[in-house]
Structures are given as C-alpha cells and as structure tokens.
Structure 1
Amino acid sequence: MILLYLLKVSACTVIFFIAYHFLLSKLTFFKLNRLFLLTALLFSFAIPALTVESTREISVNHQETPVKVAYSNEAAFEQDFNDNQLIKDSPTHWSQLIVYVYGAVLLALIFRMVIMMGIVQRSITKYKSSQNGKLILVQPHAQIKNCSFLNQIIIDESLTKDERDLVIQHESAHVTQGHAVDKLLVNLAVCILWFNPIIYFWRNAIDHNHEFLADQETLKTADKKAYASLLLNLAMPSSTLLAHRFSKLPLKKRIMMLYKKPNSNMKKLIYFSFIPIIALCLLAFVNRKEVIVTKNVADNGNYFTHVKVYKKDYFKTATVLDPNAKPAFNEAEVVLVLDAGHGGRDAASVALDGQREKDMNLRAVNILKEEATKRGIKIRLTRSGDEYVSLRDRLPIQPATAFISIHHNAMPKNGSLAFGGIELYVSKLNKNIKIAEELGANILGKLKQVKGTPVQNSLKDASLLVLRESQTPAVLIELGNITDQKSLDFITQESNLRKISNLILDGFVLFSKRGC
C-alpha cells in the first residue's frame, strides 16, 4: 500500500511541476509562484491519501428456508500451528524488499539532513567573529558566509559597508518571509520521494523563487546595476542545500529576472488553469471505496439489518443471567468475536501474487468488522495487527454470541487440489457441536447466494483447537483458495469481500435471533 501511495504522490508531482514549468516559471508573480509550489506539493501528498466512499444497497427478496446440516467427506487442509515447531522463513516478496530498502534510504536521508544542519551551525560558531542579534559576522576564510541559515544572517566581515548593507537587505528578506520553513519542508519531501527525479527540480524551483523574492525586495531601495555587479563578484558554488546563499552559481536566470519587465496583472488569470489540473489529479489518484450493503428480505418483509436478542440459557458463555431480574426476557448485547487466522511469525500460506495469508485474513476481518458495526453488532478482535497470538489465547473468555475465525485456503506442496472457493468448518469434537452446527448452517445457507466463486455445499469437520475447545459457538471460514488464480482474483476485490461479509452477518443475525 505504501508503495502505491508513493507512486501516486510522484505522479501528482510530475503533473503539477510540468504545469508550473510551462505556465508559471517565467512569470514575475513570485509570491503567487511560491504559494503554488508549496500548496501543490501538499496537494501531491494529500490527494492520494483521500478516499471517496460510495454506498450501494442491494435488496434480495427470498423466503427463509431451514438449512439442513450436512458434512462433506473431503479432507481438511487447514492445520493447527504448533508453537514449538521450527518456523521456516517464507520467501521475501519483492514488494517487501523494496519497502525495506525504501525505508532504509529514507531514514539515512533524514539523518543526513539533521547532521548537515549541525555541521552548518558548528561552522558558523567556529568562524564567528562578532554577533549582534540575528546578524553574525564571520571571518573571511569561513565556508559559510553571505547567507542566511534559519533565522540567522551570516556576513563576511571583510565586505565594505555598502556591500554588507546589500547582502543584509537581501538575506533579511529570506528571514522575514520565512523561507527557511519552505526549505525544511521541501528537503523533507526530497527525503520521502528520493526516488522521484522531479522532486529535485521542485526543490531547485523553490530555491530560485526564494532568490527572486529576496532580489525583488532588495531592488526596492538598491541600484539594479550595482546589485547585479555584487551578485557576480560574490558568486560561488553552493556548499549546502539548507542555507540561502546571497549569490550562488549559476546566475543566468536570476540576472535575467532582475531586468525582466513585470508581467501585466491580466496574466494572473493563468493561475485559474490549475483548477482543472487539480480536478484531474483528484479523479485519477483519489482512492475509491464502494460499500455494498446487502439487505435480505424475508417473506414477512422484515430486514435483517439491526440485531436484538434476548438472554436465554442456550450456551454457557453466551449467557449473562441476572437471578434477580424481574422481566421474563432481558435484552442482551450481541457480541461477535472475529479471529484473523495466523499472524506474526505464523505467516501461513503465500498467495500467487505474493500476499501472505495472515495479512489477507486481517484485511478480511477488518472489512467484516466495518460491516458489522453498521448493523449495531459489537465486535471483539483476537488480533488487530500483525502479531502472533497462540491458539488458546484466541478462544473467547468473556461472554460472546459467536466466534468466527477467518482464513484463506491454499494447496500444500505435493498435496491434492484444494477447493477453489468458500468453505465452512466446525468440529464434531466440541461438546456443544449442535449449536455450532446451527451457526455454521445458517451462515453457509446465506453464503450460497455468492455469485462469482464456488461455495462448499456442506459443512466440513476439522479437529482444530479454536473449534474443538471453544466454549462459544465457533466456526472457521475459508474465504477462498489463494493458490488458485480465479479464486484469488475474486477475493482480492474489496466489493466481493463486503458482499461475503454481509452474507456472513446475515447468517449470524439469523442464528442470534434463535433465542427470541
């Protein structure tokens, strides 16, 4: 995700900078150009981070029919993870390696920037001969001179009074206009987008714009020819990107701007041309999220969207009885425990496109949680990040209505072909198997409405610890086969995951109403 985001940011910078170069860079509206360069840079980072959510409701009319409990004779591929077994490192996918390399370079560049700031400040302190407020005079052989650094103005003490006054006036413009903030911002952007060549041109454009602004301020009182002559006399290569040097090579564009006739105000209309460019970037790079809400309508016209159940002694950990309660039935909170299978050092299988099952499980659980929250169902997660949780620690301890463990199937090496769709597991070894069967049958009955991927017609039995030992009605759902390309293509689409999630919740709602 981070790589895709950075690529979108880079694409935005390319579009904005090309527009700036051809439309604005030769104009004399330096303040407007500065505003554009900064805001466009911020837009480049902000636009790919935006998400536009659209909701589409689908109503399905059907009659509720009892789901018969049946079991498949096929072998189960899912196996418990042994805490004591040696974990073989799964092959690092190229995308992971790129992220690690990118992060290492980013940290190195930020560290380098901080070190450079320290070196500049140390050099100023070393060669300082006198100081008056923000004005610092340094020795002639100092490397850092005739420049401004943050809010300090550093001047060569050997300059004549007239030369010194011009340099001070120029550098004061940098300080009072806050150009140091721009420099820090764009240098940080360079650290983040170090792989993008356009960002270096962007930094140069901001540097040039700063000099144009300072020159413009200085020429309000200075003689243009004398000022241009001083620029040429003091010109030298820039030794740091963090300081504003009075005159640095090359000077051709800067001298040209000194003598260029100011543009007419009518040309400011050009800036309005960036409105469609911003709109184009929004259309091209903003994230889109479609939320599909499936409302199943029973024959009596009732929608299963919000859940209310009542306390009933049908299962040990789902019961919260108050012996002193007067009402015959007390409304109870519906709690669904969602388990994203595997995690941490237990990466499980690897998909054809390099995704790890543990990450896909967590993504699916987060989507299922979002859809459940819309219905007013309280959710508890066994893990919310890439962390290892032992099998026993996943089992619900607090009272809950049901426990659903989410996984993705895969074909083991040298193994028989795994089912290429959705499967649902329970454990016959659980002492309360009948209630787990009812939960599984209700969910499976709803999942049969899925279009685009096969659904196993019957429950599967597996002696998995989270199913076998759970004191809460528990099922395990395989959302698809990540080593089958067709199945992988289907379950990697968010809209399909949301459809599946809503059908799972429909089955859970039907199960939870059994106590009414």
Structure 2
Amino acid sequence: MEALITYILKSAGILSIFYLVYIALLKRDTSFTTHRRFLIVGILASAILPSIYFTRKVIAGANNFPVNENILSTQKVSKELTAWFGIWEVLGSIYLLVAACLCAKIIVQLYGVFKVISNSNHYKSKGFKFIETEATISPFSFFKYIVYNPASHSKKDLEIILLHEKIHASQLHSLDTIVANLITALLWFNPFSWLYKKSMLQNLEYIADKETVAVSGEKKSYQLALLHISNTHLQPAITNHFYQSFIKKRILMLNKKSPQQPTVWKVGLVFPLILAFMLTFNVKIEAKTDKEVPVEVKTGKEIQGDPIYILNGEKTKKGIIDLIDPKFILSMKVLKDESAISLYGEEAKDGVVIITTKVLNKSKEKAPGTKKKHSLGFQRFEKKSNSTNNFQINKNEKLSPLVIIDGKTKDKRFMEDELQPKDIENVKVLKGKAAIAKYGKKAKNGAIEITKKKDKTPTE
C-alpha cells in the first residue's frame, strides 16, 4: 500500500508542475492546439514517470580485515512478528474508497449519455450522427454523435452551433473530456487536478471557437450566437457542449491576436523542472564494492510488521540495514514482545532488530612495537527486562564461543539456564584475532564478555 500511495503522490506532483507551467506561460496565448498537446502530455507524464527510476551507484571499499565470517546470534526468532495495520493502509483505504466513488460517478454519467443516444432516432450526414430532441438541453457532442433541439435556436444560429459541435466531434474532444474527468477521480486530493480538468475543457472550447470562425468567416454572427444562448441550459456531463459559463472569456480569446512567435520555447521549460523532480524523488542508490559486486544483506526470513532497527546502538531505518554487506555484520539479535518493549518502549511493539557491525578503528595511530587492536563494538543494555533468557549459544561445544562473566569463565549452560537479562550491565562480543589475543586459543570461536550489575549478588 505504501508503494501505491508513493506512486499517486508523485503523479500528483508531476501533474502540478505541468499545470503551473501552463498557467504561468501558456494560458494567455492563442496557440490552443499546442496547449491541448501540452496538457495531454502532462497527463501521460504523470501516469508513466513515477514508475521510472534513475540508478546512482555508490562504490564501497572492500573489507580487508580477516575475520571469522560465521555470524554469532544472541537470540533466535521463535516466530514471525505479526503484521500491523499502519498509517499507509489507512491512507490507502481512504484514497481507494474516494477514487472508486468518483469513478463510479463517471460510469453513471457515461451510462446517461449512452441512454440518451440509444433511445433517440438519428440520421447520418458527412460522417456525423445527428440526434434531434425536444428536451430543453444545450447542444452537445459525444464522439461522432451531435445532439440538439432545433426548436430552441434560429436557423442561422443553429448552423453555427452545429459547425462548432462538428469540430468537437471530428477532433475527438470527447476523449480529452473523459481523460480529464478520470484524472480528477484518481487524483481527487490534489486541487491542481481539478483546475487541470477545467483548463483542458476551456481550451477545447477555444479550439472549436477559433476553427468555427475560420471555417464560417462570420466572427460577429458567431459571437452573437454565443450571447443568444448564454442563458443556463441542462446538459449531460462527459460531453462537449456549446454553452459554457465562461462565454466572456471565449469572446475575449476569439478576438485576441495570435502570437507572431511560436510558444514552443515556453513548452520546453517544463522539461528541466520534470528532470529536477525525477532526480529528487526517483533515484535509487545501488551500493557496490570496488569489484562491482552488489551489496546485499540477507537476514533470512523476512520479518513482518514494522520493527525498529538498532545499528551499533543507534536507531536507523531498514533501508540502511539493507545496504550493509553481510561480511561486516558481527552479530544480529531479534527481540520481541515484552523483552523488546521493556528495552525500547511502546515504539518496539512489533519487535527490535539489533545489529552490531565489525568496526575497524583507523583513527588512532599505534605506537611502534605495540599490537594492533580492533574495536569490534558492543551492545549495552541499560533498561530492566522481565523476560526469560535471551541468549542462545551454538549447541555444538566445539563451535561455542568462550563465555566470560565478571572475569570468570563459565560454560554455556550457565548462560542458558541461570543468567537473566535483568542482571546484565553490558555485553561485549569478541571474534577472530581479537578474542584469541585476549584469551588464547580457547577463544578461537569467539568470546562473550558479560558484566553483571554490581547491586546483584553474583550467581556461582
């Protein structure tokens, strides 16, 4: 659902850019055919471009630190975290409900038009289908059908009106009208989508007005015809009808001189704005090593719900976790239910994924003759937990790490059966050479250093 909402928001953004360019640069010009193409391209762009992404590659240096690549987990997931009904689902459901209602309204309107056409007798003339009706209705066209009431207009006005509707029909303006209505249904939350529809319908009338005068050569008679029918009439929606509420604007645009220079350069200004939008919102980052090997974190079975992620003691996002090379992971721990909430609060109701990475500290120079030490990081637990033991060590004794509690060596049974998380002050995990350098070969499988809280009596 999040992907759907993101797509819709980007689509609304692109449509808004086209509308603002149209209002700022094109609306006052009389290149109406160019405007029609521009507005149609805007709709197509808003439908297609949100699904197109640029890829930016980030080169990450290879890890030259020799460590044991076996990941030490301090807890296993007993069951999958349950999915929760989040904000994206709520917003998506509201959006789909309203969009479905508006689309249903369009279907009802189309049904009404088809009903008028199917229940009326028509005659054909020069590729058009004319329907005469006795209803009090403004003349309108729907694709090749032209509906009018001959008794409502004089013969001279009717000739001009029918010529106007023929231009609508011949140029398939009904298709533009349907698409404009669909845009408002799908992007109903965006105010610019409603203004976009209005601009499209007005521009179609400007085209028909201009070409009607060009064909008939009677500009004055045409303007008088507009005034004669300026009283309100009923007309079906989703149609191109002769009467419009903006008669004054149509007359003004009809008398406005066409620009001597084409408006193509104005149309071109929308492209850098769209490119800037795409580079801001439609760029995917692909991390690679210097050997061009894609970096991908595989954490096993996908965790459901919305757990929080802790990376080296700091809260982060799943997108950052996905960029981590598995070779850099020292340990991964999953907490859930009460053990997660007790440490991180209600925010962790869907669980906590704690990841500690291998850190190579290069910031400090080592004195000659001293051994190089590597900081491997640790996870500190400061809040109390009433949960049961969270530690699980490999059941194979040969592969088990060395357990050190308050400086004393303990076996794995002590961790599994007697050690409680509420008694722990902090935990530090060592691996590879760092563990062997401190505890000898017995720590070849790693070492876990646990410090218990001082106010507790040590359990022997």
TM above 0.5, yes or no, is: yes
Does the 8 A contact of 1:421 with 1:454 survive in 2?
no
Does the 8 A contact of 1:420 with 1:454 survive in 2?
no
* Aligned pair partner of 1:417 in 338, 343, 353: 343
Aligned to 2:439: none
* Aligned pair partner of 1:219 in 201, 210, 213: 213
Aligned to 1:492: none
Instruction: Give the 3 Å change call, closer, same or farther, for CA 217–291 of structure 1 in structure 2.
Output: same
Q: Determine if the alignment matches structure 1 residue 233 to structure 2 residue 228.
A: yes
Describe the SS at the equivalent of 1:18: helix
Instruction: Give the 3 Å change call, closer, same or farther, for CA 108–267 of structure 1 in structure 2.
Output: closer
Describe the SS at the equivalent of 2:162: helix
Query: Relative to structure 2, which stretch is displaced further, 93-102 or 201-210?
Result: 93-102
Post-superposition CA distance 1:407-432 (Å, at most 9, x none): 98344236553876327xxxxxxxxx
* Aligned pair partner of 2:8 in 6, 12, 23: 6
Describe the SS at the equivalent of 2:59: strand
With normalisation by structure 1, the TM-score equals 0.57
Q: Determine if the alignment matches structure 1 residue 148 to structure 2 residue 148.
A: no
* Aligned pair partner of 1:47 in 33, 41, 49: 49
Aligned to 1:36: 38
Does the 8 A contact of 1:57 with 1:294 survive in 2?
yes
Does the 8 A contact of 2:133 with 2:147 survive in 1?
no
Instruction: Give the 3 Å change call, closer, same or farther, for CA 12–455 of structure 1 in structure 2.
Output: farther
Does the 8 A contact of 1:137 with 1:155 survive in 2?
yes
AA matched with 1:215: D
Aligned to 2:60: 58
Query: How many angstroms does 1:65 deviate by?
Result: 4.9
Query: Relative to structure 2, which stretch is displaced further, 201-210 or 3-12?
Result: 3-12
Does the 8 A contact of 1:238 with 1:249 survive in 2?
no
Describe the SS at the equivalent of 1:99: helix
Post-superposition CA distance 1:199-253 (Å, at most 9, x none): 1111111111111111111111321111111122223356444100012223111
Query: How many angstroms does 1:175 deviate by?
Result: 1.6
Instruction: Give the 3 Å change call, closer, same or farther, for CA 278–348 of structure 1 in structure 2.
Output: closer
Describe the SS at the equivalent of 2:288: strand
Aligned equivalents of 1:339, 1:267: Cα separation in 2: 57
Instruction: Give the 3 Å change call, closer, same or farther, for CA 104–450 of structure 1 in structure 2.
Output: farther
Instruction: Give the 3 Å change call, closer, same or farther, for CA 157–70 of structure 1 in structure 2.
Output: closer
Aligned equivalents of 2:6, 2:71: Cα separation in 1: 44
Instruction: Give the 3 Å change call, closer, same or farther, for CA 274–304 of structure 1 in structure 2.
Output: closer
Aligned equivalents of 1:65, 1:277: Cα separation in 2: 49
Aligned equivalents of 1:91, 1:209: Cα separation in 2: 47
Q: Determine if the alignment matches structure 1 residue 189 to structure 2 residue 183.
A: yes
Aligned to 2:112: 119
Describe the SS at the equivalent of 1:54: strand
Higher Rg of the two aligned structures: 2
Does the 8 A contact of 2:54 with 2:279 survive in 1?
no
* Aligned pair partner of 1:172 in 166, 170, 182: 166
Q: Determine if the alignment matches structure 1 residue 80 to structure 2 residue 5.
A: no
1:463-474 matches, cutoff 5 A? none
Does the 8 A contact of 2:141 with 2:241 survive in 1?
yes
* Aligned pair partner of 1:448 in 358, 373, 382: 358
Does the 8 A contact of 2:53 with 2:278 survive in 1?
no
Post-superposition CA distance 1:429-480 (Å, at most 9, x none): xxxxxxxxxxxxxxxxxx63699x96789x94489xxxxxxxxxxxxxxxxx
1:21-420 matches, cutoff 5 A? 21-60=23-62, 62=64, 64-66=66-68, 76=75, 78-80=77-79, 92-126=85-119, 128-132=120-124, 134-143=128-137, 145-158=138-151, 159-222=153-216, 223-235=218-230, 236-237=232-233, 239-265=235-261, 268-285=264-281, 287-294=282-289, 340-341=301-302, 347=304, 350-351=307-308, 409-413=334-338, 416-417=342-343
Instruction: Give the 3 Å change call, closer, same or farther, for CA 166–196 of structure 1 in structure 2.
Output: same
Aligned equivalents of 2:65, 2:265: Cα separation in 1: 63
Does the 8 A contact of 1:71 with 1:460 survive in 2?
no
Aligned equivalents of 2:108, 2:204: Cα separation in 1: 24
What percent of counterpart residues are identical?
21
Aligned equivalents of 2:279, 2:273: Cα separation in 1: 10
What residue ranges of structure 2 are gaps of 5+ in the alignment? 310-316, 327-331, 345-351, 362-375, 381-390, 396-460
AA matched with 1:274: V
Does the 8 A contact of 2:164 with 2:208 survive in 1?
yes
AA matched with 1:422: I
Instruction: Give the 3 Å change call, closer, same or farther, for CA 410–136 of structure 1 in structure 2.
Output: farther
Does the 8 A contact of 2:99 with 2:185 survive in 1?
yes
With normalisation by structure 2, the TM-score equals 0.64
Aligned equivalents of 2:307, 2:183: Cα separation in 1: 34
Post-superposition CA distance 1:260-315 (Å, at most 9, x none): 12221255543343343333333334x111111125xxxxxxx7959xxxxxxxxx
AA matched with 2:122: S
Does the 8 A contact of 1:16 with 1:40 survive in 2?
yes
